[in-house]
Amino acid sequence: MKKIYNRRSILKTGAALAAGSSMGKLAFAAEENETASEELPKYGIEGYVAPEISLDYWIDGDGKPAEFSIEKSKGKWVFLKMFQNWCPGCHSSGFPTLKAMCDEFYGHEKVEIAAIQTVFEGYSTNTQDKVRELQLRYDIPAVMGHDPGDEESHIPSLTMINYRTGGTPWLVLISPEGNVVFNNFHVNRTKLIEYLKEQLA
Task: Name 98's Cβ contacts closer than 8 Å, sequence gap at least 6.
Answer: 79, 81, 113, 115, 138, 140, 142
Arithmetic mean of pLDDT, 93-121: 97
pLDDT tens-digit readout, 13-48: 222 222 333 334 565 655 544 434 445 468 999 999
Residue 7 phi, psi dihedral angles, 5° rounding: -60, -40
pLDDT at 5: 39
Return the pLDDT at 13: 28
Q: Give CA–CA dist 15/102, Å, rounded.
A: 36
pLDDT tens-digit readout, 115-150: 999 999 999 999 999 999 999 999 999 999 999 988
User: What CATH number was assigned to the domain covering residues 7-200?
Assistant: 3.40.30.10
Asked whether the whole model's pTM tops 0.85, one would answer no
- CA atoms of 87 and 169, how far apart (whole Å): 7
Determine which of 19-33, 76-90, 116-130, 186-200 has the lowest per-residue pLDDT on average.
19-33
